Chain A
Amino acid sequence: MAELGPVLEVLLGGLMSGVLYALVALGFVLIFKASGVFNFAQGAMVLFAALSLVRLSEWLPFPLAFLLTIVIMIAVAWAVERLVLRPLVGQHGLILFMATIGVTFFLDGFGQTIWGSNVYQLDLGIPASPWFLLENVFPGGILVSPIDVFAAAIAGSLVLALSIFFHSTKIGRALRAVADDHQAAQSVGIPLNQIWLIVWSTAGIVALVAGMAWGSKLGVQFSLSLVALKALPVLILGGLTSIPGAIVGGLVVGAGEKLAELYIGPLIGGGIEYWFAYVLALAVLLVRPQGLFGEKIIERV
């Protein structure tokens, strides 16, 4: 029993990290699902949103800064739709993907230029000291970080809200139609530009929430945009179009990499956490090329 404690602890810690990965992956899935664009700039959006929030909250009360940041993220979405996506309607997905790489570099640089490159502390008032569960079952208890629990709760509610939005609203259905075929959706009267604006704005808000969760853990600084790379194996694993996939993928990657680092790592020199996620994702692809929850696309030639 005593030996089970640490394993459970690592598993739990991993699952919590996984929720945070899922939160970033969610931003990717949203845009891909609704516009067929793989938005490489999601990480940069996380950084930009968090930087805007933390710097604005130096001048303004927090709720006001939060609202203003949402406005900023909608403005970013508008600019991306107007200046990047609209001229590229109907182009191949790869071209749109390349355009989002451009957006990434722009947002990274622009964000640091106007908001600065330092580490900024984001204090959401969550206690940093750990909680210990089941102390009478396991010696030392099972450690849980309150920040992780908070982030998991936020991510959970966001996922629920988005699922309802996608499946039960008119806009949600329109979003799914656009994802299937831009031009066909446009021909039946779905306003493509508006839909893109809505979905990029939503992704911007998801980025803000992810930025707050990660930022309160790490401090708001440039590495937030790199954390987004952790979402890639999650996407491979969960499938690009599935919101539950992003969540399950996040949990599997989070728990898998932590357990691997602790129990396989020492055998091969350690530091495997980073690439283990990809190995895990690739292994899944061998068996299920569409990912765990992705749509199986059959094209007849």
Chain B
Amino acid sequence: MTLRFSTAALAGIAAVAFAAASGASADTIFYPHLVYRSGAYAPNGIPFANGVADYVAMINARDGGVGGAKIELEECETGYATDRGVECYERLKTKGAGAIAFSPLSTGITFALTEKVAVDKIPLQTMGYGRSESADGRVFTWNFPLLGTYWSAADILVQHVDKISGGLKGKKITLVYHDSPYGKEPIPVLQDHATKYGYTFEAIPVTHPGVEQKAAWLKIRQTRPDFVFLWGWGVMNSTAIKEAVAVGYPREKMYGVWWAAAEPDVRPAGDDAKGYQGLALHPAGADYPVHKDILKYVYDAGKGAGKREEVGEVLYNRGMIDAMLKLEAVRIAQKLFNTKVVNGEQVREGYERLELTAERIKELGFEGLVTPLKISCLDHEGARKARIHQWDGQKWVFVSDWIEADTKYLRPKMEAAAAAYAKEKNITPRSCS
């Protein structure tokens, strides 16, 4: 009886496995999705994950997938923990027809995967995060920090406060940062600029997850910096705003990086967050053509990943843009290799030819949501622009035009850091000519 039962069970398992395998192989590309829908960073992880899931679902429903290939998306929960992120990567990298690319939404996981993706030949798309020097495509062949690195972000913020304050000479800037690879990224640029612009710079670390910041803010109360830059993530951001209120530091003088300037960062602080400012890689809002399609094909069909009213939040839109850029790279690779089902190595070639013109942005329904960008072998960042937006208590309102990071200063710095990395890891940089 036992024997018969186990034989039957085995046969059942085999049948299911076969069905799953055959289902995946017919013109289907595999989109692994590292998410965090639980844990300390979930409030920020969820809208981003929903943006990705809904965009992919819409493309599947509206266009039948990308270039004739259905997209199979599988989420893996990392909880923003580096070890779990690596585990997810190992589990998903060879699934289906092979992973097209990874986006871990964590600088810590990005640091851990950078060496692995080069061996496994899978691109690592880190839109608006990751290692700043990975914009140098000669050394970081597999990394694509699209749309802006933290060095670009720091440069843009300094440019902005320099402009509005009539010069930073003799002023004081304090950075309150998440004590992790992410939070430390802007420090070299802010230090360089302290000399160039003539301000005094101080950096105050906040330990994960960032719920205990009283000491940091009491220090700020004593030193009274002219501006506070906030490089936080998740609950650290809303806590920082609340602590600023508690020590009476004006929110108008606080600037968050683009990961510290979304709805989950300001809403928990209620009315006290009014006036807080931050970088915006793109606008919030759900009035763009792509949103109409998402609502029509996904939410009207009852298949939305989140709540209908959350479509169009800052991080939701960022997730959507992240997915769109990845699928654009896939589309280019499909044409280049004349095949529907592409692997990571082919998608990398797609990324390196990725060019988002104003015309193409319009075709995709993203007009006004994303700036044009052009990736090349030499430059894996593609665009380095952001705007400043301010929370008015209800919504984000732009208070600056697009500001472009200073490439003349950043590029040599990036190249030097990339060269140092190459030397340390014994990598011979590719030639891009």
Contact = CB atoms under 8 A, between A and B. Distances in A.
B235 interface: yes
A265 B215 contact: yes
Interface string A241-262: 0000000000000000110011
Among B204, B211, B215, B270, the one with the most A-chain Cβ atoms within 10 Å of its Cβ is: B215
A227 B205 CA distance: 18
Interface in A264-292: 265, 269-271, 273-274
Interface string B177-216: 0010000000000000000000000011111011110111
B77 to A, nearest CB: 11
A6 B207 contact: no
B242 interface: yes
B261 to A, nearest CB: 15
B372 interface: no
A121 B42 CA distance: 15
Given A14-B214, A274-B207, A223 B222 contact: no
Nearest to A265: B215
Contact of B212 (A109, A112, A222, A274): A274
B270 A270 contact: no
Interface string A82-98: 00000000000000000
Given A230-B212, A258-B215, A218 B235 contact: yes
A6 B270 contact: no
Interface in B37-68: 37-40, 42-43, 46
Contact of B40 (A17, A226, A262, A274): A226
A143 B219 CA distance: 12
A119 B238 contact: yes
A140 B46 CA distance: 42
Contacts of B235: 119, 218-219, 221-223
Interface string A129-149: 110000000001001010100
A258 B214 contact: yes
A226 B209 contact: yes
Contact of B42 (A9, A117, A140, A227): A117
Interface string B257-282: 00000001001111010000000000
A230 B37 CA distance: 24
B167 interface: no
B248 interface: yes
A184 to B, nearest CB: 42
Contact of B248 (A143, A218, A270): A143
Contacts of B43: 117-119, 221
A109 B38 CA distance: 8
B267 A121 contact: yes
A128 interface: yes
Contacts of B267: 119, 121
A143 B206 CA distance: 21
A13 interface: yes
A112 B215 contact: no
Contact of B221 (A117, A121, A143): A143
B245 interface: yes
B218 A13 contact: yes
Nearest to A122: B268
Given A119-B235, A222-B38, A273-B207, A262 B245 contact: no
Tell me if A's interface is mostly helix, strand, loop or mixed: helix
Nearest to A147: B246
A139 B109 CA distance: 46
Contacts of A222: 38-40, 42, 235
A9 B238 CA distance: 23
Nearest 6 A-B pairs (CB), nearest first? A219-B268, A271-B205, A117-B42, A261-B215, A274-B207, A119-B268
A271 B245 CA distance: 21
B239 interface: yes
A10 interface: yes
B357 to A, nearest CB: 37
Interface string B345-364: 00000000000000000000
Number of contact residues on B: which range applies? Answer: 35 or more
A77 B206 CA distance: 35
Contacts of B203: 270
A176 interface: no
B206 A123 contact: no
B245 A129 contact: yes
B399 interface: no
Nearest to B310: A118
A128 B272 contact: yes
A55 interface: no
B271 to A, nearest CB: 9
Contact of B214 (A13, A112, A120, A270): A13
B247 interface: yes
Contact of B38 (A6, A117, A123, A129): A117
B238 A10 contact: no
A258 B218 CA distance: 9
Contacts of A13: 214, 218
Among A128, A261, A262, the one with the most B-chain Cβ atoms within 10 Å of its Cβ is: A261
Nearest to B79: A222
B242 A217 contact: yes
A123 B242 CA distance: 13
Given A222-B42, A258-B214, 18 more contacts: A117-B37, A118-B43, A119-B267, A121-B268, A129-B246, A143-B218, A145-B246, A218-B268, A219-B242, A222-B38, A223-B234, A226-B209, A226-B211, A227-B211, A227-B212, A261-B216, A262-B215, A273-B215
Nearest to A132: B248
Interface string A224-235: 001100100000
B27 to A, nearest CB: 35
Among B203, B212, B239, B267, the one with the most A-chain Cβ atoms within 10 Å of its Cβ is: B212
B205 A270 contact: yes
Interface string A1-30: 000001001100110010000000000000
